[in-house]
Structure 1
Amino acid sequence: MSDPNSQQPDKASFTTGSFNDSLRNIRDRVFEEQGDRGAGAPYAQPATAFNEEKKEADFYITEEELEMLTFYDGVKGIYKLRYFMQTLFRELKRSKRFNRTTSVVVAQIDGYQNVLRQYGPATADQISGAVVKLLLDGARSDLDTIGKLSADRYVLLLPETPGRGAAVLCDRLQKKLSTMEFKHNWTVLPVTLSFGVSYYPGHANDPTELIARADLACEFVTDRGGGNTAFA
């Protein structure tokens, strides 16, 4: 595991446009999900003269399907950012009340967009699917929460976990990923992750700012080649 002091963004970057951009991107993603939820809600419509022959079952979805549409982002266990933010907000309230430490980790699949362009969506999906499973297997199912920021970026909420503990998890995930092999035809594709870590009470009190700081730390690693962990 890298020394956090040697892998740390310049403090000045948090007062510049980079940090504000991270804040804005996270807020925009939450608002985007709210809009999608309103526009595409899976509610049944009453039968009319032209569709009365449709089977009654066509107007219903199962509880499991409703749960997937409401909370998860395509994969069970990977939550939509809006739900993740609500969970983080509640966890921070508990942390403040009981004087606990809570960490947030942003994980980026290094070179994902290059893989998508060069080898196509099937190969990119194979890699992202493996990373999602890696994150789910590495997280504590009874405590941790994982959200999706974008196709190649995820955010983890680690309650009652100090920054050092979060860094240990990142290191463990990185080592596990290094044992996995990804190929396109006969070409071996090296895959690494960039991690950014922030935590309460050291870095921020606000959920959005906590994610933005971890996101900026993750970007700091990505810009330097990836495959490492940085603290906000």
Structure 2
Amino acid sequence: MFKDVSDLASCEVLIVDDSELMRRLLVGCLQEICNVKTVESAEQAIIYCQEEQPDLVLMDWVLEGMSGLEACKKMQVTPKLSEIPIVFVTSNANEESQLQCWEAGAVDFVPKPIVPKTLQNRVKTHLKYKLQADVLRNYSFIDGLTGIYNRRFFDAEVERLLKQHHRADHALSMIMIDIDFFKKYNDYYGHLAGDDVLKQVASKLKEIVRRPLDTVCRYGGEEFVVLLPDTPLQGAKIIAKTLVRAIAGMALEHSQSEHSVVTISAGVASATKTCASVESLIKSSDDMLYYAKGAGRNTYKCTD
């Protein structure tokens, strides 16, 4: 079901129009419904959307420089921007113009002259659709048992971060984590108890890894992975050491482990010139995890 209209107050709509009078008119129609921002050109709109990610764009068809139609097409083929719905505000309401709107990827159009109530209702409808889509998208990226991000999210996020690393030369590190002797735990204590351990470990990892840009994901089974953008290897080593100690410090009984409590092993790697692909970064951290297990578990290892 749709959320209440009152929920729309936190939504952001970007108005793109080179007429100051039209911008004022549109702001006046919408300012009591949602948060409204304005820019004068399609070029400014694309830059703004890349930085701020508004929930809806109201774009004039005819603009100085890049047209609204061209901007819409460009946004549709840009992964970071393709989920932002675009509504054209246009006096071109004939059938051919409408067809061009749909083909460019717009979700709707509002004809000029503006009828305030029509504009408000259409904006409300599309904001509600956007909220619902965001909720569904988030659910599809959340692991049902632990409540943290899942493998699907990791696959998308690590690829995005690695592209960012190559483009802007930002550091990127990864920690691969495995709960030690987890099969023995399940066999001895039962799968319900094992599920509870997974949830507690996930919660502790998330509690410690709390920078907004950092991400904890369930990689599969008893494996977790931590993505650390803007974090060099030395920083990732400190975080891995903290995580290993924190899980052991929870003192969750594990009589089938040589450590007597639930522990983790961790492998740390950073993106480098020789570790430049998703596959190589995963393999490097997984290799380090293997060495940590060989070193007696309840520890971490990292690449040189």
TM-score, length basis structure 1: 0.65
Deviation at 1:196, TM superposition (A): 0.3
Q: How far apart, in 1, do the equivalents of 2:209 and 2:274 lie?
A: 22
Give me the CA root mean square deviation. Answer: 2.6
Paired residue type of 1:70:
S
Question: Residues 202 and 194 of structure 1: is their aligned pair in 2 closer, same or farther, counting only changes over 3 Å?
Answer: farther
Count of aligned residue pairs for this structure pair: 170
Which runs of 5 or more residues in structure 1 are unaligned? Answer: 1-61
Please show how residues 195-210 of structure 1 align to structure 2 within 5 Å. Answer: 195-201=266-272, 203-210=274-281
Q: Identify the residue that residue 291 of structure 2 maps to in structure 1.
A: 220
Q: How far apart, in 2, do the equivalents of 1:209 and 1:224 lie?
A: 22
Deviation at 1:80, TM superposition (A): 2.3
Q: Identify the residue that residue 209 of structure 2 maps to in structure 1.
A: 139
Q: How far apart, in 2, do the equivalents of 1:106 and 1:98 lie?
A: 24
Paired residue type of 1:107:
I
Structure 2 contact 176–268 (Cα < 8 Å) conserved: yes
Paired residue type of 2:197:
I
Which one has the largest radius of gyration?
Answer: 2
Of all paired residues, the percent bearing the same amino acid is: 27
Q: How far apart, in 1, do the equivalents of 2:265 and 2:153 lie?
A: 24
Which runs of 5 or more residues in structure 2 are unaligned? Answer: 1-131
Q: How far apart, in 1, do the equivalents of 2:196 and 2:150 lie?
A: 20
Q: Which whole-Å deviations, capped at 9, do the CAs of 1:101-143 have from their partners, x for residues lacking one? A: 1001101111111100111112212221111011111113410
Q: Which whole-Å deviations, capped at 9, do the CAs of 1:46-94 have from their partners, x for residues lacking one? A: xxxxxxxxxxxxxxxx768734541112157622222212111111111
Q: Identify the residue that residue 89 of structure 1 maps to in structure 2.
A: 159
Q: Which has the higher contact order (CA 8 A, sep 6+)?
A: 1
Q: Secondary structure at the match of 2:212?
A: coil
Structure 2 contact 171–270 (Cα < 8 Å) conserved: yes
Question: Residues 176 and 216 of structure 1: is their aligned pair in 2 closer, same or farther, counting only changes over 3 Å?
Answer: same
Out of 139, 162, 176, the position equivalent to 2:232 is: 162
Moved over 4 A (4+): 62-65
Q: Secondary structure at the match of 1:79?
A: coil
Q: Identify the residue that residue 53 of structure 1 maps to in structure 2.
A: none
Deviation at 1:167, TM superposition (A): 0.9
Q: How far apart, in 2, do the equivalents of 1:184 and 1:76 lie?
A: 20
Q: How far apart, in 1, do the equivalents of 2:278 and 2:162 lie?
A: 7
